[in-house]
Amino acid sequence: MSALFQFLLRQGDNTLVLGHRVSEWCGAAPALEEDIALANTALDLIGQTQMWLGYAAEIEEAGRTADDLAFLRDAYDFRNLLLLETPNRNFGHTLLRQFLFDAYQVPLLASLESSTDQRIADIATKAGKEAQYHLERSQDTVIALGDGTEQSHTIMQDALNRLWSYTGEMFESDIVDEAMTANGIAPDPTSLRDVWNTTVDAALKLADLKAPEDNFAHKGGKNGRRHTEHLSHMLSTMQVLQRSYPGASW
């Protein structure tokens, strides 16, 4: 598979998996306003998925569509960050995971707006506006919960302790990233770490949360070498209709 196809899968799988995770709160959020806000966030992410995987399907030239790539691949074919497939333990965990990704996604999309691939630049420009809003909202919520009650602070610190080891994968570079950088299509992931650190550190300080000092990083999601068991369970739910009734339409 071409490096460009792999890169597009990574972008589309990130938004698809996170979008589905966020959608799991529909009808179950702690407040009506949050229910609506999370549903809108999920819709934004799925909309971005359509653009990324739609372009990937065109590049592949194998007769597949964005829907095929979303619903007819097994877990080992997915290229999303491991962070995004972690299950929703609670509302605080969900919003912190969202924030950690948003802080990475905003500078990534900003850089992709200057991509030598015009299609990618156009997608990034459109998705970037939504990502900026997602970041503002998730950041504000993380700060409010972290600096809130003793209970909410404890929940957010626990979420940070659980999620921190998954963040390092965002900045891991491999041959796909090297090819994208060499052709001016995408930035080197390592170049995004400083701005991510600045955004995250500032928010954690205001939230009175302490990042773990352990530098261990879970890896393997973005290149498909290793996914957690959570992805397979998620896909069994997400893909059940299409796999039970192949080609169904209405």
CATH superfamily, region 3-244: Ferritin, core subunit, four-helix bundle (1.20.1260.10)
Residue 247: the pLDDT is: 79
pLDDT per position as a tens digit, 180-200: 999 999 999 999 999 999 999
Contact 242, 67 (CB under 8 A): yes
Q: What is the DSSP letter of 165?
A: G
pLDDT per position as a tens digit, 126-135: 999 999 999 9
Exposure of 111 by Cβ count < 10 A (0-12 exposed, 13-18 middle, 19+ buried)? middle
Ranges in the chain, pLDDT < 70: 1
The sign of the CA dihedral 55, 58, 62, 68 is positive
Residue 35: the pLDDT is: 87
Residue 184: the pLDDT is: 97
The full set of domain ranges for the chain reads: 3-244
Residue 1: the pLDDT is: 64
Contact 32, 203 (CB under 8 A): no
